[in-house]
Amino acid sequence: MRPRSLLRNRQAVSMMYDAVLFIVMVSLSGVVLIPALQSDVIIESSVEKHREETVDETLLMLLTSRVDNFGYTLAGSQIESLTGIQVDYDGSDQDLIQALVKTFLGREQLHKTYADLCVENLVCQLNVFGTRINVFTEDFDKSIREEVITVLREHLSDKYEFNLTLKWHPIMGLDFGGDLEIGPSPPVIDTHVAKTYVALPGTFFTEWLKDFEDYIIQCIDGVLVWNSSSDGLKNQIKGLMKNIVENITLNGFMGKDGVLDKCIDYVFSPLENGIERIFGDSFALIVEPIETVIPYDLTDLLDGLFSDVIKDLTGLDVTDSDGDSVIDAGDSLDFLKTYVRDQVAGILDPLFDGYFESFADFIVDTMGTLLDIDQLKTDMIEFFKEHINVLRAEIMLTLWEVRG
Amino acid sequence: MVRRPPLKGFIKNDKAISEEFTSLPALSVVMIGFALFILLIANTYTAYEIRIDSIEKYKTADFIATKLTNPDCFFMDEGGIVNISLLETSESLDKLNSIRDTYKTSGVDFIIRLSWDSTYKDYPEDLPNDVGDRIAVSRNISVYLNPAQTRPGRLSVITWSV
């Protein structure tokens, strides 16, 4: 059909249709603009950035600042549960018995950094396969928890919840060392995390670590001929590493103790001395007043504590029919020491085999069969320091917003 | 002389040009729509302006805080510790005042407030009472008071427009 001329065209759309069309378009523009009106992307991203910074700053603050008054009582939790005696370290007045307990068993740590206190706590715990051997420092845990919670609460408003996790595991992957967790478990999403490593204060461990470097170099230099086939070379590297790891963890090297003995002795010897101090001669002075509130013999109490630890760790019941321990505290410690050593020896090979495999593969794949000995030394030292390091504790602060 | 029609006649007069009766409601609908549209645009723009403005002010305060807590700042010690004895020297206060002067030229003034335990101190001078809206940005830091005491504290930069 031929279109009619525009001038003659008498058909039209009512003006109302135009108006409705206009309204529809206004609504559409509204739909487009409303997200811009309500969107808080810019603000949200700066808030996120702010929280990331907050968690970093807070961790740094905690690591660098010092506590004014801090202290704990050796065997404090046991004394408290038996007698109800609780010692405060904030300078408040105490009655005679509290003052006596504080004098003999108290450990006051004034003006130390929070980081040092935390690391000290980790090292003295002696946690093995989930069982804590040093049961005397539970009061230390409690005090440090309270202290850290007070400080963090003060600096992070009620809007945030936090979790501070500290770990000292000198041998990677082995449940041996110390753990401390402060605050509730964090949720799976929307958390901000800051993590860093703190070094243990310089002790004989520092020197030990240097010797351990020399030992690795000596072992690599000691190999007369490196195998020329790639499989042979891999096996040779694996064998060498296996040997090194056994010596540095268990058997000892260059006339030094292995890392495990070193750690165990480091914690056990003060523990043994501590026991003497707590339950030895000096304690006899306050035994009279203590015995008036504690209904039974303290030596039995100590033996009982260790028989519980042995039962927890090994499943062995070392008590007789009356419930009294058949071995005394000193023997218990020796027994535990041997047990820990044997257990670790049993699981060390399977633990490290995978790592050695991938390390040997990595070396042979990147260097080929013509070894660069200096590079191998550097890589191997790095590998061992990464997996076995007595001086390094991990500290992690997690922060999240509490909604509602 | 033309005789004026009587009023009665005017009322009864049916002759007229009829305006299309849909145009008035259509016009009102268009007017309402237009008003809504203008309102929407205006709101969006104001919201955007406010947001940008507040973010800009916050960024300024944040930038000052970052600058002052920088490890190489004149009153900072190693490890992000604020050394209060360094901050209290007249040289430091002069330096702070000169930083303030540069910001004053852009219409922003600030003071820093250092708080630890339950006390606080303002530098280089106390917060004036007559300032209007203030924006504060805080950083958690450690405050070095003396060789024995390094307390966990907070450094706040309080800014306002001049």
How do residues A327-348 score in pLDDT, each as one tens digit? 776 777 778 778 887 888 778 7
Looking at chain A, which residue has its C-alpha nearest residue B30? A19
Q: For B70-81, what is the mean pLDDT?
A: 86
Q: What is the dihedral of CA B143, B147, B149, B154, to 10 degrees?
A: 0
Residue A182: enclosing H or E segment and its boundaries? strand A176-182
pLDDT at position B83: 92
pLDDT band at A214 (very low <50, low <70, confident <90, very high): confident
Give A113's contacts in chain B (Cβ within 8 Å): 150
pLDDT at position A15: 67
Give B55's contacts in chain A (Cβ within 8 Å): 42-43, 46
CA A132 – CA A336 distance, rounded (Å): 11
pLDDT at position A279: 61
pLDDT at position B21: 60
Give A29's contacts in chain B (Cβ within 8 Å): 37, 40
Distance from CA of A71 to the nearest CA of B (A): 16
pLDDT at position A304: 74
Residue A363 maps to a domain: no
pLDDT at position B144: 92
Please give the residue that has the higher pLDDT: either A82 or A157. A157
pLDDT band at A145 (very low <50, low <70, confident <90, very high): very high
Please give the residue that has the higher pLDDT: either B141 or A327. B141
Q: Given a cut of 90, is residue A290 above it in pLDDT?
A: no
* Interface contact A26-B36, CB threshold 8 A: yes
Q: Given a cut of 60, is residue A1 above it in pLDDT?
A: no
**How is B78-118 classified by DSSP, letter by letter?**
TTTEEEHHHHTSHHHHHHHHHHHHHHHTTTEEEEEEEEETT
Give B81's contacts in chain A (Cβ within 8 Å): 64-65
Core vs surface per residue A50-75: b (16+ CB within 10 A) or e: ebebbbbbbbbbbbbbbbeebbbbbb
Highest mean pLDDT among A233-242, A376-385, A392-401 belongs to A392-401
pLDDT band at B50 (very low <50, low <70, confident <90, very high): confident
Number of domains in chain A: 1
Chain B CB within 8 Å of residue A18 CB: yes
Q: Which of A75-79, A210-214, A365-369 has the lowest mean pLDDT?
A: A75-79
Give A65's contacts in chain B (Cβ within 8 Å): 81, 142-143, 150-153
Nearest of A216, A172, A62 to residue A392 by alpha carbon: A172
pLDDT at position A222: 82
Residue A354 maps to a domain: no
The SS3 assignment for B137 reads strand
pLDDT at position A203: 67
Chain B CB within 8 Å of residue A326 CB: no
Mean pLDDT of chain B: 85
Q: For A207-221, what is the mean pLDDT?
A: 82
pLDDT at position A93: 64
pLDDT at position A264: 75
Interface of B with A (CB under 8 A): 20, 22-23, 25-27, 29-30, 33-34, 36-37, 40-41, 43-44, 47-48, 51-52, 55, 58-59, 62, 79-81, 139-143, 148-154
Residue A233 maps to a domain: no
CA A30 – CA B38 distance, rounded (Å): 10
Residue A301 maps to a domain: no
- The string of pLDDT tens digits covering residues A171-194 is 888 888 889 999 999 999 889 999
The tokens of A243 are what? 């040997």
Residue A333 maps to a domain: no
pLDDT at position B159: 93
CB pairs below 8 Å between A and B: how many?
102
> Least CB-CB distance to A155: which of B36, B41, B154?
B154
Separation of CA A8 from chain center: 90
Residue A163 maps to a domain: yes
pLDDT at position A195: 94
Looking at chain B, which residue has its C-alpha nearest residue A51? B139
Distance from CA of A350 to the nearest CA of B (A): 41
The tokens of A300 are what? 């039995």
Range of the domain at A112: 45-200+391-401
The residue written with tokens 């001395």 in the block is A273
A171 DSSP β-pair partners = A388
Report how far apart, in Å, the C-alpha atoms of A323 and of each of A301, A304, A305, A370 are.
Answer: 11, 8, 12, 65
> Least CB-CB distance to B152: which of A20, A111, A155?
A155
Distance from CA of A240 to the nearest CA of B (A): 41
Q: Given a cut of 60, is residue A305 above it in pLDDT?
A: yes
The tokens of B122 are what? 């303002």
CA A231 – CA A229 distance, rounded (Å): 6
CA A105 – CA A96 distance, rounded (Å): 14
Q: What is the DSSP-derived secondary structure letter of residue B5?
A: P
% of chain B surpassing 70 pLDDT: 90
* Interface contact B149-A68, CB threshold 8 A: yes
CA B152 – CA B139 distance, rounded (Å): 11
> Least CB-CB distance to A19: which of B30, B48, B150?
B30
Q: What is the DSSP-derived secondary structure letter of residue A4?
A: P
pLDDT at position B93: 92
A 37-66 residues with CB < 8 A to B: 37, 40, 42-43, 46, 50, 53-54, 57-58, 60-66
Chain B CB within 8 Å of residue A300 CB: no
Q: Given a cut of 60, is residue A296 above it in pLDDT?
A: no
pLDDT at position A329: 67
Q: For A87-108, what is the mean pLDDT?
A: 72
Inter-residue contact A269 to A126 (CB < 8 Å): no
The tokens of B64 are what? 């000052």
Looking at chain A, which residue has its C-alpha nearest residue B59? A46
CA B85 – CA A103 distance, rounded (Å): 36
pLDDT at position A298: 63
pLDDT band at A287 (very low <50, low <70, confident <90, very high): low
* Interface contact B140-A155, CB threshold 8 A: yes
How does strand A191-199 pair with strand A127-128?
unpaired
Residue A396 maps to a domain: yes
The SS3 assignment for A3 reads coil
Give B36's contacts in chain A (Cβ within 8 Å): 26, 30
Residue A5 maps to a domain: no
Q: Given a cut of 70, is residue A275 above it in pLDDT?
A: no
pLDDT at position A398: 94
